Structure 1
Amino acid sequence: MSRITDAKEVILTSDSTGESWSAAVWDPRNGSMLSVFKNASALGHRTLQLLSDSYVLGANATKARLHIWPLNSPSPLPNIRLNTSGKVNALTCTPNGSYIIASVDEQLFIWQTCTGRLLANLTRHYQPVCCLAITKDGSLFASAGEDGLVFVWSLYKAINDKQDYSPVHTFSNHNMPVKDMHFGFGGARSRLYTVSLDRRANIYELGSGALLVSLIFEMPLTAVIVNSRESELFVGCTTGDIFQCNLHEPPRGIEQHVAKDDEKIMFRAHKSHVTALSISVDCRTLLSGSTDGAVHIWDIVSRQVLKTIEHKGPVTAAFFAKGFENFRASTLEPRLEVRNLQRTLEADDELESEDIIEVISRGRNPAEILDFQSYVGNTVNTVDSSEQEELIKQLREEIKMLKKTNASLFKYSATHILQKANDK
């Protein structure tokens, strides 16, 4: 096994056997194995995730638990148990690793990574959720299930609004199970790409919630990816074929049929249905995984297979990832802490008041908070004395609140730092 080099990108894969390892890292330039993550069982379909630039996360294929490894170690993180209420069918996390989102049957669970607290339990699907996706900025995430429904959720609203956690968008254009989803670039105004066994690949615009186009193929679809320019769409089928669609030449109507005999847009090498698709950051290389156990690295222009990475069983995940420094670091320098996951929601009255810290909204300009004139403006000279006194009273109350918040923050930080020192 070779050492991880300074490659800008690496490939992460997993298969359904988990015999030699649960997940592996490969060099996309020559297909050589760089490192493995083992001492756990096989991972579930498309549950392999990167937790920021520090850890690899995956869901057990048969048991109600998650596995986590440091990027630079083949052994799981010690003394951490990530148990769930049931077997996880789909898994994703925010790009910065702060939150973990998983589905168990029809339910969605959201945990805060650094505390392990279960922040939300969402129920809207009628059948098991089979795939999850999240925007590049982590503001929105989508869930899709065997019921053919696609829900787009606000992460902020899901973890803060306990009374009304309704989704931002509800799409019901598929009439069979949705098998894969992918968000483009643009955050809350990005596009969402979905594929289903009903042979449709749908593209939605999140700003308006409109269905932009529906591409209809002649066979069921199982995987989807779009390049970073969002100019080329790739979909994988149950037959093993991969189709390439030019999005710079949209159809005149919402629906467009794609012929299966058009060799100019097809990638053919897999023997059975495609389970994973990914594109390199330079948009020149396509990665595909299949139930035939093969992971192919393609040149997109020539549509030729450059390298093939053989697996012992059906491929459950295959994607390009940034070649983080922690992949080759002798000592891991994580950006976040990981705690044991809670399995039930805490009631509000069970939370200790000293553990709650009020944080000023990020949308507020910090300069305004420190500028007295921003509070009173020009009203001091124009209002009468009674209104002035009331305004001064309000300002004093706010100063008092800020002092209390500062004291709570200091107490909370000092307690955790001392606790960490004692643990060491």
Structure 2
Amino acid sequence: MNRASNAKEVILTSDTTGESWSAAVWDPRNGSLLSVYKNATALGHRSLQLLSDSYVLGADATRPRIHIWPLNSPLPLPNIRLTTPGKVSALICTPNGSYIIASVAEKLFIWQTCNGRLLANLTGHYQTVSCLATTKDGSLFASAGEDGLVFVWSLYSALNDTRSSPVHAFSNHSLPVRDLYFGHGGARARLYTVSLDRTANVYELGSGDLLLSLVFDAPLTAVTVNVRESELFVGCITGEIFQCNLHEPPRGVEHHVTVSSCEESAVFQAHKSNVTALSVSINCCTLLSGSTDGTVHVWDIASRQVLRTLQHKGPVTAAFFAKGFDNFRASVLKPRLQVHNLQRTSDDGGRDSIVEVVSRGRNSAEILNFESYVEDSSDSRGLDQTTKKLNDLQKEINKLKKINAALYQYGVTHILKKSTTDKEH
């Protein structure tokens, strides 16, 4: 089943059964099933990921491997084995798909997608890492888990220093952290965390400060914000979802939020148990939520009413909005990147490895040929604009030369002449 859709966004979901499919793509406008990914087992909690605009990844719930499918095919990618050192407990990809980051127990592993090399093995956590997140530009990533610690890592440092330490280490949570979310802003973004200790924390990465700590009546299990970062949504173990206005934060760092103190309209109520996933559409009008009760609800944020429900056969392990890439409905996949088998151990000679370059609509042999770029752009608008700028700069230089010459002439005829006259007197 693979019906075409022109939607700007789609919904991706997975559940614990994996009976009919391991993951599915839905149309958020009407809730119809667009395509499925199968021939694999159930995927682990929040391990469903998009690898750039080309592939779907998901960690096996019980075995040490990661499944991969082309976006436009229900069948896994042939001849590719993404085997990991152990069962993956959390999985994330950088936004451009260049790196895959996974946790196995308390350790973090980073692979380069184009050649499958294991580039880093990070340690620091004392217990299993259960959630990972990356900034929108891929420069930083965060890890958290059962030990209640939240680490923020520099991807560059992790890849270039075998003894890399976290950029930030937060220990404000007293119980396991259940979800992480990065806002916009790269290295100065905000990081949102929720924990079973009933707190939702907001950190600013530029300074490393804790900006806000919201304390709720129930343990928290999921978090997200809208693209404007004006509204915070947190899911509880009870099934309730709270909405908090970040444009009107409390004056103090810590603030207690109770059902009685919240307006009734600030609570989304429909799930019967633990909220496992939250996501907001790009237009900030629709909220998506998944739960262990086997339902994925699509909400209208303004009215807090359920627009439609996507029924699953078991507890939902992932549910999020994604861009409706062309490859979802393409008859022939046009990948932006190559995928290779993952190494289970790192090698010392890897830094001299050849990196294969993949490009769409261009002969890959020309990618590093400077002459081809000059020839291809000789009659382009970009070169015309550059020529115009150079001409303008030359005119400005000539103008400055004339001004300098006039100033020099003035100095000779007036200042020196006056100095000579003064000496004569």
TM-score range, shorter chain: 0.7 to 0.9
Q: Using the TM superposition, give the Cα deviation of residue 4 of structure 1 relative to its aligned residue in structure 2, in angstroms.
A: 2.6
Q: Using the TM superposition, give the Cα deviation of residue 2 of structure 1 relative to its aligned residue in structure 2, in angstroms.
A: 5.9
Q: Please identify the structure whose Cα radius of gyration is greater.
A: 2
Q: Which position in structure 1 is the counterpart of 2:209?
A: 210
User: 1:352 and 1:90 mapped to 2: Cα distance?
Assistant: 26
Q: Which position in structure 1 is the counterpart of 2:293?
A: 292
In structure 1, the gaps of 5 or more residues are: 358-424
Q: Using the TM superposition, give the Cα deviation of residue 260 of structure 1 relative to its aligned residue in structure 2, in angstroms.
A: 1.6
Q: Secondary structure at the match of 1:159?
A: helix
Q: Which position in structure 1 is the counterpart of 2:360?
A: none
Q: Using the TM superposition, give the Cα deviation of residue 161 of structure 1 relative to its aligned residue in structure 2, in angstroms.
A: 1.2
Query: After TM superposition, which residue ranges in structure 1, 4 or more long, deviate above 6 angstroms?
Result: none
Q: Which position in structure 2 is the counterpart of 1:56?
A: 56
User: 1:339 and 1:352 mapped to 2: Cα distance?
Assistant: 16
Instruction: Check the 8 A contact 1:4/1:35 in 2, yes or no.
Output: no
Q: Which position in structure 2 is the counterpart of 1:378?
A: none
Q: Which position in structure 1 is the counterpart of 2:39?
A: 39
Instruction: Check the 8 A contact 1:194/1:202 in 2, yes or no.
Output: yes
In structure 2, the gaps of 5 or more residues are: 357-425
Q: Which position in structure 2 is the counterpart of 1:129?
A: 129
User: 1:10 and 1:25 mapped to 2: Cα distance?
Assistant: 7
Q: Which position in structure 2 is the counterpart of 1:417?
A: none
**CA 1:345–1:242: 2 relative to 1, 3 Å:** same
Q: Secondary structure at the match of 1:188?
A: helix
Q: Note the 1:22-421 alignment, pairs <5 A.
A: 22-162=22-162, 164-261=163-260, 262=262, 263-347=264-348, 350-351=349-350, 355=354
**CA 1:354–1:187: 2 relative to 1, 3 Å:** closer
Q: Using the TM superposition, give the Cα deviation of residue 352 of structure 1 relative to its aligned residue in structure 2, in angstroms.
A: 8.1
Q: Using the TM superposition, give the Cα deviation of residue 45 of structure 1 relative to its aligned residue in structure 2, in angstroms.
A: 0.2
User: 2:228 and 2:4 mapped to 1: Cα distance?
Assistant: 29
Q: Over residues 161-219 of structure 1, what are the superposed CA-to-partner deviations in whole Å (9 max), with x where a residue is unaligned?
A: 12x30000000000000000000000110000000000000000000000000000000
Instruction: Check the 8 A contact 1:68/1:76 in 2, yes or no.
Output: yes
Instruction: Check the 8 A contact 1:180/1:222 in 2, yes or no.
Output: yes
Q: Secondary structure at the match of 2:158?
A: helix
Q: Over residues 278-322 of structure 1, what are the superposed CA-to-partner deviations in whole Å (9 max), with x where a residue is unaligned?
A: 000000000000000000000000000000000000000000000
Instruction: Check the 8 A contact 1:272/1:292 in 2, yes or no.
Output: yes
Q: Secondary structure at the match of 2:306?
A: strand
What amino acid does structure 2 have at the position aligned with 1:203?
V
Instruction: Check the 8 A contact 2:114/2:355 in 1, yes or no.
Output: no
User: 1:85 and 1:327 mapped to 2: Cα distance?
Assistant: 31
Q: How many residues align?
A: 354
User: 1:4 and 1:134 mapped to 2: Cα distance?
Assistant: 30
Q: Secondary structure at the match of 2:342?
A: coil
What amino acid does structure 2 have at the position aligned with 1:299?
D
Q: Secondary structure at the match of 2:212?
A: strand
User: 1:105 and 1:3 mapped to 2: Cα distance?
Assistant: 39
**CA 1:354–1:209: 2 relative to 1, 3 Å:** closer
User: 2:344 and 2:219 mapped to 1: Cα distance?
Assistant: 36
Q: Over residues 8-34 of structure 1, what are the superposed CA-to-partner deviations in whole Å (9 max), with x where a residue is unaligned?
A: 000000000000000000000010000
Q: Using the TM superposition, give the Cα deviation of residue 264 of structure 1 relative to its aligned residue in structure 2, in angstroms.
A: 2.3
Q: Using the TM superposition, give the Cα deviation of residue 346 of structure 1 relative to its aligned residue in structure 2, in angstroms.
A: 1.0
TM-score, normalization by structure 1: 0.82
Q: Which position in structure 2 is the counterpart of 1:3?
A: 3
Instruction: Check the 8 A contact 1:2/1:32 in 2, yes or no.
Output: no
Q: Secondary structure at the match of 1:158?
A: helix
Q: Over residues 51-71 of structure 1, what are the superposed CA-to-partner deviations in whole Å (9 max), with x where a residue is unaligned?
A: 000000000000000000000
What amino acid does structure 2 have at the position aligned with 1:35?
S
TM-score, normalization by structure 2: 0.82
Q: Over residues 74-101 of structure 1, what are the superposed CA-to-partner deviations in whole Å (9 max), with x where a residue is unaligned?
A: 0000000000010000000000000000
**CA 1:352–1:282: 2 relative to 1, 3 Å:** closer
Instruction: Check the 8 A contact 2:111/2:342 in 1, yes or no.
Output: yes
What amino acid does structure 1 have at the position aligned with 2:302?
V
Instruction: Check the 8 A contact 2:132/2:143 in 1, yes or no.
Output: yes
Q: Over residues 324-366 of structure 1, what are the superposed CA-to-partner deviations in whole Å (9 max), with x where a residue is unaligned?
A: 000000000000000000000112xx44857599xxxxxxxxx
Q: Over residues 143-172 of structure 1, what are the superposed CA-to-partner deviations in whole Å (9 max), with x where a residue is unaligned?
A: 00100000000000001112x300000000
**CA 1:268–1:104: 2 relative to 1, 3 Å:** same
Q: Secondary structure at the match of 1:264?
A: helix
User: 2:134 and 2:205 mapped to 1: Cα distance?
Assistant: 12
User: 1:287 and 1:206 mapped to 2: Cα distance?
Assistant: 27
Report % sequence identity: 76
What amino acid does structure 2 have at the position aligned with 1:303?
R
Q: Using the TM superposition, give the Cα deviation of residue 268 of structure 1 relative to its aligned residue in structure 2, in angstroms.
A: 0.1
User: 1:248 and 1:107 mapped to 2: Cα distance?
Assistant: 37
**CA 1:328–1:198: 2 relative to 1, 3 Å:** same
